[in-house]
């Protein structure tokens, strides 16, 4: 048996609907100036569609990659307001956040659409960051694992076994997003180990390689403790990523 490849931590900024091109021009050089040489992580900026081109240009040949926050599953067609994988690739984008809870809750993103989006992203050579997570009510009702199982199995249904490890899964408990109520390191570890086991039901090799990251009120104060958990392979950072210095501190906290 070959030795398993160590998983490179994945630390992603999710700007959500924040920052203009002018803001991007300030942020990216500031971030690049703050990142420690030789830090351990792969760093990603998930930015609004309008900022993608400038973010790609400004990150240049640095190791920081740029992701979109959504993508349509079809290659082209009558889908007003949507963006395809090819359009993202042409800009030099590396991937897309898919199934963020805000898109599920507010914009009708479904597991059925994600069944097509995740493989479409992979087929195009983009890295999908698939978001899953339970509501507070589901956690209190002891339904966390049922919800995670459903979301992970549905979204990965049409992903071939040999591509499973190319997906990044973000565990984002909805009660922790934007609330300041970060999951405890134990809660993050437990849910993420469970997600890894779900991938393992499809492929043991993929489970050892797939990166499963945590999102929800991550800050420079709490990042180190969460990122130190054995199954936590990184973070998806919303509010705290809007400040380049704060985000650079979170990157530096990756083990």
Gap between the Cα atoms of 131 and 103, Å rounded = 10
Integer Rg of the chain from CA: 17
Q: Which is nearer to ligand PGA, 164 or 218 (CB)?
A: 218
Smallest separation, CB 180 to ligand PGA (Å): 8
Angle at 231 between CA 233 and CA 164, to 5 degrees: 70
Cβ of residue 56: shortest distance to ligand PGA, in angstroms?
21
Q: What is the CB neighbour count within 10 angstroms for residue 60?
A: 10
Report the interface residues with ligand PGA, using CB under 6 A.
14, 172, 177-178, 215-218, 236-240
Both tokens of 9, joined, read 């931590």
In the complex, the smallest distance separating the C-beta of residue 189 from ligand PGA, rounded to whole angstroms, is: 18
Q: Is 100 a catalytic residue?
A: yes
Active-site option among 94, 100, 102, 246: 100
The residue whose Cβ lies closest to ligand PGA is 238
| DSSP bridge pairs for 132 | 171
- Least distance (Å) between residue 109 CB and ligand PGA: 14
- Give 28 or 174: the residue with its C-beta nearer to ligand PGA: 174
Rounded Cα distance between 109 and 39, Å, is 35
User: How is 93-130 classified by DSSP, letter by letter?
Assistant: --EEEES-HHHHHHH---HHHHHHHHHHHHHHTPEEEE
As annotated, the active-site residues are 100, 172
């Amino acid at each position: 048996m070959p030795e398993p490849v160590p998983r490179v931590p994945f630390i992603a900024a999710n700007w959500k609907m924040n920052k203009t091109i002018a803001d991007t021009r300030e942020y990216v050089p500031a971030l690049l100036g703050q990142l420690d040489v030789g830090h351990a992580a792969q760093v990603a900026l998930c930015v609004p569609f309008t900022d993608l081109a400038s973010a790609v240009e400004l990150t240049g040949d640095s190791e920081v990659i740029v992701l979109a926050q959504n993508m349509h599953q079809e290659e082209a067609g009558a889908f007003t307001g949507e963006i395809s994988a090819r359009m993202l690739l042409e800009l030099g984008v590396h991937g897309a956040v898919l199934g963020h809870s805000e898109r599920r809750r507010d914009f009708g993103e479904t597991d059925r659409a994600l069944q097509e989006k995740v493989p479409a992203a992979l087929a195009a050579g983009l890295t999908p960051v698939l978001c899953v997570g339970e509501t507070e009510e589901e956690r209190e009702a002891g339904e966390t694992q049922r919800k995670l199982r459903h979301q992970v199995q549905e979204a990965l249904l049409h992903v071939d076994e040999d591509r499973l490890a190319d997906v990044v899964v973000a565990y984002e408990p909805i009660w922790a997003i934007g609330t300041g109520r970060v999951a405890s390191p134990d809660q993050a570890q437990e849910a993420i180990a469970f997600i890894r086991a779900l991938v393992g039901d499809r492929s043991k090799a993929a489970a050892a390689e797939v990166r499963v990251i945590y999102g929800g009120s991550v800050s420079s104060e709490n990042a180190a403790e969460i990122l130190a958990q054995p199954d936590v392979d990184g973070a998806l950072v919303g509010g705290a990523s809007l400040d380049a210095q704060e985000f650079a501190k979170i990157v530096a906290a990756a083990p």
